Amino acid sequence: MHYYIISGEPSGDLYGSKLIKSLQNIDANARFTCWGGSHMKNAGGDIVISLESLSYMGFYEVVKNSFLILKNLMFAKKHIKKINPHAIILIDYPGFNLKIAEYANKMNIPVFWFIAPQVWAWRKSRVKQMKKYIDKLFVALPFELDYFKKEGIDTFYFGHPMIDIIGNMSQKTNNPLLGKPVIALLPGSRIQEVRKLLPVMLKSSVSFNDYRFVVVCVDHIKRSFYEDLIQNYNIELVFNQNILKTAKLAIVSSGTATLELAIYNVPQVVCYKLNILSYLIAKFVVRIKHISLVNILAKQPFVDELIQDQCNVKNLEMAISKLLDSNNRKKMILNYQHLMKKLGPSDCFLKTANTIFNHLDGIKKHPNI
């Protein structure tokens, strides 16, 4: 069957690649048309729109790029109509993907949403649209299962995708080549957030000469962009997440990476900065106490969050010093271990792929099936 996958985030590109591989194992004739990046391409997906033109952070940034977003939306509709896939698989990216779900529903194409939009945090009104246009919803957080089921959406929870991706790799390793203990800097996956967060992270590194600071980069942002930002600092760039297995602690942008660090048992401090207009709007509309997934799942702030003006050099230095204390590190890692019990089970991608394939195999909704 022909699957059309749309993701607008690097994490979604990674999740999409794993889902592609699982679908290939059960559908010998599977074909994939994708909006994504290198992960889905390497898994066998035909990339028609790349991540570089899709990823925006903040309300102001979305408005600023509204013409390009509208252009992409028009292209998507025409392209879907032209190739007439058997199924649409949407990965997060709610503002855009909800419009695609509506269009696909009108075209009588089954819609599967992998990684539910966080409507429990803001824009709860989207739930009605989701119920109307989505055939099946796959959530990544345990409390989301009951939340969406109560809204009448056919919802499944097979554990968080990161559990499968990292798996046994979460075990710490000692690499004698590393020398000084590693402090990892993860400034995000979008250019605008890296530009805002990395300079503050770099300035805070100056006070800790006994540690090796490493920027964990993402593939779709050019190395030269990072090099321009770090040129006055003795900082290394790595494009491999394996460095996290050796990290003593991490400074990280809010997002999926916070859970990844928890799985690796790496103590962390979370940073978040937006355009001032986007931040003011977010303060007004977002209805959650915490911004990091770790704290949201734990329902308590055991990971420090430095938001907007609080994300400054002085506060980061204090947060790093706090995490270098062995007692504080042990406490955070113990909290991680309690958290991991909530994120199982495993085989998320295989179970999701089986559910999608069995649904398509059992219906006559689409004329090509």
Q: Is residue 121 part of a domain?
A: yes
In a shared domain, residues 153 and 222: no
- Is residue 175 pLDDT above 90, yes or no? no
All residues at 6 or more sequence positions from 54 whose CB lies less than 8 Å from its CB, including other chains:
8, 9, 35, 72, 93, 96
In a shared domain, residues 151 and 271: no
pLDDT digits (tens, 9 = 90+) for 120-137: 766 778 899 999 999 999
CB 189 within 8 A of CB 161: no
In a shared domain, residues 336 and 350: no
Q: Is residue 369 part of a domain?
A: no
Cis before 345 (ω within 30): yes
Q: Is residue 368 part of a domain?
A: no
How far apart (Å, rounded) are the C-alpha atoms in residues 71 and 48?
A: 14
CATH value at residue 354: 3.40.50.2000
Give the residue numbers spanning the domain of 281: 167-343
- Is residue 119 pLDDT above 90, yes or no? no
- Is residue 170 pLDDT above 50, yes or no? no
**Across 7-12, average pLDDT:** 89
Q: Is residue 367 part of a domain?
A: no
Strand partners, 236: 214
Q: How far apart are the first and last CA of the chain?
A: 8
How far apart (Å, rounded) are the C-alpha atoms in residues 313 and 311?
A: 7
- Count up the domains in the chain and report the number: 2
* SS3 state of residue 222: coil
In a shared domain, residues 324 and 201: yes
Comparison of pLDDT for 130 and 284, the residue scoring more: 130
In a shared domain, residues 136 and 182: no
Q: What percentage of residues in the chain have a pLDDT greater than 70? A: 87
In a shared domain, residues 151 and 11: yes
| CA dihedral (192, 162, 155, 283) positive or negative | negative
In a shared domain, residues 220 and 254: yes
Q: Is residue 208 part of a domain?
A: yes
Q: What are phi and psi of 307, to 5 degrees?
A: -110, 135
In a shared domain, residues 181 and 154: no
In a shared domain, residues 224 and 323: yes
In a shared domain, residues 222 and 250: yes
